[in-house]
Every structure is written in C-alpha cells, then in structure tokens.
Amino acid sequence: MTKRQENIAVLESEGLGYLVQALIDKGYEVLGPRIKDGAVTYDQIETVRDLPIGWTDRQEPGSYRLVKSGKKTYFDYAVGPHSWKKYLHPPETRLWEARRDEQGFTVIEPERETAKKALLGVRPCELQALAIQDTVFTGGPYLAPGYQERRSNLFIVAVNCVRPGGTCFCASMKTGPKATSGFDLALTEILESGRHYFVVEVGSASGEELLSDLPTKVADDAEKEAAAKAMERATAKMGRELDTKGIRELLYKCFDDPHWQTVADRCFSCGNCTMVCPTCFCVNVEDGTDLSGQQAERWSRWDSCFTRDFSYIHGGSIRFTVKARYRQWMTHKLAYWLDQFGTLGCVGCGRCITWCPAGIDITEEVRALRDKEQSEKVQSV
C-alpha cells in the first residue's frame, strides 16, 4: 500500500455509503446521528439514509429547533442533546449481582461488553470530551470498571464543523472546529458549486486500512483549500467565546461573589446541564434486591451535582442552596478540573446553554464575573 500524500484523500458523497458498509463488514456496530423526537440524537445507523440528510438546527440559549435546509448534506447540524458518553459511560450500568446463600451472599461479576463500535460523526469538541473522560476514568489510581474495554473497541469517524451551532464556543476553548487528533478518520463535508464530497484525513493505522477499501482519490490543492476555507469560515462565524485566561484564579477569587446569587435566582436546579454535558461524569451507586430478597443488585446511574442529595451527609446537605450548587458545577468545570485532571472540564459544545430551560449561558456568567472583577480592580486603584 502506498502512503497517501499527507494522508489527505477525497471521498465523493456517494462514497459515504461504502464507508458505513465497510465498518459494518468489519464487525462494527455503527452509531451516528439520527433524528428522533425533534432532535439529532445518536443511535444505530444501518445505512446513510438513516443520517439527518437535509436537516440543520437553530440553537439559542434555552431553545433547539430542527429545520429543513433543502441541501443534500449529511452533517449540517451541530451537536444535539446526546453525547457519545452514553456509550462509554452509560446512563446506567449494573455493576454486579449478589445471591443469598448459606455463607451469607455471593457476588457475581458482570459480563463485560466487548462489542466493537464505530462512532460516525464525532465532532472535534466531542473528541476532546472523550479525551477528558479517558483521563477521569483511566487516570487512576483506580480504573472505572469496563471503561477501557469499551474504549479500546472503538473506531472513530470525526466530522469537522463547517457550520458552528448557535451556542458553540469551541474555537475559544481550542477544541474545534477542526479535529486535530483522537480520530481514525476525519471528514470535512464540502458542498460547493454543485459538487458534494468529503475531504478525508487519516488519524490512525486502522483508519488508513479502512480507507484503502474505499473509492477515494488523493485530494488536490483546490479540494484541500476548500476544506481549509470552510474551517476558517466556521471559526469566524462562532457567535460565542469564553476567555480562559487566568480562569482558575478568577473563579477561586469569585467564590464569595454575590453574582452567584443572581444566577441562582434563575436556575431551576434541574440538572439538565449536567445530563447533556459530554464531560460530566458523576454517578450515584444504588443497591437493591428483588422482592424475595434472594437476589441483590448494584447499579451505577448518572447523577447530578444539582440535586440536594448529592452532597448529603447525616445532618444535612453540604451544598443546600442552589447558589452553592451552580457555583460548584461551574467552578468544577473551569477551575477544580484543571487541578484534578490537568485540563478544563468544558469543551465549548454549548449543550448546557441550549438545553437549560432558563437559558443560562456559561460564557455569559464567566464574562459577568470577569467584568465585576475588572471594575473592582479599577475602583481599588
């Protein structure tokens, strides 16, 4: 096999079907974007016809709407309410079962999931979210049960964002709109002057191998230029930004700022933001039995720091006000996370902004804290 020039190829739009089929032929369950309940969600894909062809979305703080674009594009939407964490860090997992016996009880280990999964349409910010969760679950000292098995059986087809969503701010978080690592293949979808094709970058040996089975050609300068231009336009169109300079120090300084109360006055403490966030990892661990008591089970389920129970200890919750819970969430994302895992806990996907019923916008809240900090500095001079 000859080395592809700069590992950049072109796949005509009709070729996407071959890509899906090639993955299925290699034994992967292909998971990708599908429209369900009025949103782009992630689910099993059998053919390219399952993809949201000709759909795009309008997103704003507190609102999400799908609209027909009238184009033939496959990936002209931005991230929806689902994230890939549902496959790697499932919403609920049975950790084990136990049976009563003469000795008391016996614990039975769960079977590990070993299915090969291909993720089609992973956005650049979502690649970073995966990398972040890798650190959380495999950084030690203890490994999250089953995570590594699920993670190592993945094939990742990234799709660069030529159109940022209405609440995205990946450019300022340096996670997008173009994928730089963490994928097997990365596609840029181009629809220009009537021609519809994908510029394909290879990110791994398995990506290279899969691509060699597809009807591709080497990308010429014009095609590469088209992809680069599309990325530039996407960055320019990004409507939001979060200034991360000194963000940790800013949040530590603002712990007692009255601004948290003004956010709390709007926040319903519903936890939507934590459920849709691709990096939030907290779980509850729940024990129970069947009616006879002969069999017990332990489940792990996504949990949210917005519940009172989350920090409950005998005598009362540590964070009993909404103010403290919102502050904990945002300070964790933008400050504690850096200390804990060496990266920010936010990738700029905008989900928490879109799916917040109050339209609370993390970028606005950071700006508000920064402005107050600035004006206090000026006053004290």
Ligand X SMILES: Cc1cc2nc3c(=O)[nH]c(=O)nc-3n(C[C@H](O)[C@H](O)[C@H](O)COP(=O)(O)OP(=O)(O)OC[C@H]3O[C@@H](n4cnc5c(N)ncnc54)[C@H](O)[C@@H]3O)c2cc1C
- The residue written with tokens 């996504």 in the block is 302
Query: Does residue 288 interact with ligand X by CB under 6 A?
Result: no
Distance of CA 238 to the CA centre of its chain: 18
Query: Does residue 271 interact with ligand SF4 by CB under 6 A?
Result: yes
- The residue written with tokens 């990946």 in the block is 170
Candidates 89-97, 231-239, 270-278, 307-315 — which segment interacts with ligand SF4 by CB under 6 A?
270-278
Candidates 54-62, 148-156, 224-232, 322-330 — which segment interacts with other proteins by CB under 8 A?
322-330
Of residues 206 and 321, the one with the C-beta less far from other proteins: 321
Cβ-based neighbour number of residue 301 at 10 Å: 12
Minimum distance, C-beta of residue 31 to other proteins, in the bound complex (Å)? 24
Query: Does residue 320 interact with ligand X by CB under 6 A?
Result: no
Minimum distance, C-beta of residue 320 to ligand X, in the bound complex (Å)? 14
Q: Choose the contact partner of 214 out of ligand SF4, ligand X, other proteins, none; CB within 5 to 8 A by kind.
A: none
Bond before 141 cis per omega within 30 degrees: yes
Candidates 2-10, 249-257, 306-314, 363-371 — which segment interacts with ligand X by CB under 6 A?
306-314
Q: Tokens representing 186?
A: 């990365």
The Cα–Cα gap between 304 and 276 comes to: 11
Cβ-based neighbour number of residue 3 at 10 Å: 8
Candidates 159-167, 265-273, 302-310, 361-369 — which segment interacts with other proteins by CB under 8 A?
302-310
Is residue 335 classed exposed, middle or buried when 0-12, 13-18 and 19+ CB atoms within 10 A define those classes?
buried
Query: Does residue 165 interact with ligand SF4 by CB under 6 A?
Result: no
Query: Does residue 32 interact with ligand SF4 by CB under 6 A?
Result: no
The Cα–Cα gap between 14 and 9 comes to: 15
Q: Is 83 helix (H, G, I), strand (E, B) or coil?
A: coil
Which one of residues 252, 268, 312, 320 is an interface residue with ligand SF4 (CB under 6 A)?
A: 268
Looking at residue 129, what DSSP letter applies? Answer: H
Query: Does residue 131 interact with ligand SF4 by CB under 6 A?
Result: no
Handedness of CA 156, 299, 79, 77 (dihedral sign): positive
Q: Choose the contact partner of 176 out of other proteins, ligand SF4, ligand X, none; CB within 5 to 8 A by kind.
A: none
Which one of residues 219, 347, 366, 369 is an interface residue with ligand SF4 (CB under 6 A)?
A: 347
Candidates 166-174, 222-230, 310-318, 332-340 — which segment interacts with ligand X by CB under 6 A?
310-318
Minimum distance, C-beta of residue 157 to ligand SF4, in the bound complex (Å)? 21
Of residues 17 and 357, the one with the C-beta less far from ligand SF4: 357
Q: Tokens representing 118?
A: 């291909």
DSSP string, 322-364: HHHHHHHHHHIIIIIHHHHHSS-S-----HHHHT-TT---HHH
Query: Does residue 282 interact with ligand SF4 by CB under 6 A?
Result: no
Query: Does residue 316 interact with other proteins by CB under 8 A?
Result: no
Which one of residues 267, 305, 335, 366 is an interface residue with ligand SF4 (CB under 6 A)?
A: 267
Which one of residues 68, 245, 314, 377 is an interface residue with ligand X (CB under 6 A)?
A: 314
Q: Choose the contact partner of 115 out of ligand X, ligand SF4, other proteins, none; CB within 5 to 8 A by kind.
A: none
Whole-Å CA distances, 365 to 133, 242, 264, 309, 319: 24, 10, 11, 25, 20
The Cα–Cα gap between 168 and 165 comes to: 5
Q: Is 312 helix (H, G, I), strand (E, B) or coil?
A: strand
71 Cβ contact list (under 8 Å, min separation 6): 54, 191
Q: Choose the contact partner of 218 out of ligand X, ligand SF4, other proteins, none; CB within 5 to 8 A by kind.
A: none
Query: Does residue 339 interact with other proteins by CB under 8 A?
Result: yes
The Cα–Cα gap between 305 and 51 comes to: 34
Which one of residues 14, 312, 342, 357 is an interface residue with ligand X (CB under 6 A)?
A: 312
| 126: enclosing H helix or E strand | helix 124-138
Query: Does residue 92 interact with other proteins by CB under 8 A?
Result: no
Site string for ligand X, 12-31 (x = CB under 6 A): --------------------
Query: Does residue 283 interact with other proteins by CB under 8 A?
Result: yes
Q: Which residues bind ligand X (CB under 6 A)?
A: 312-314
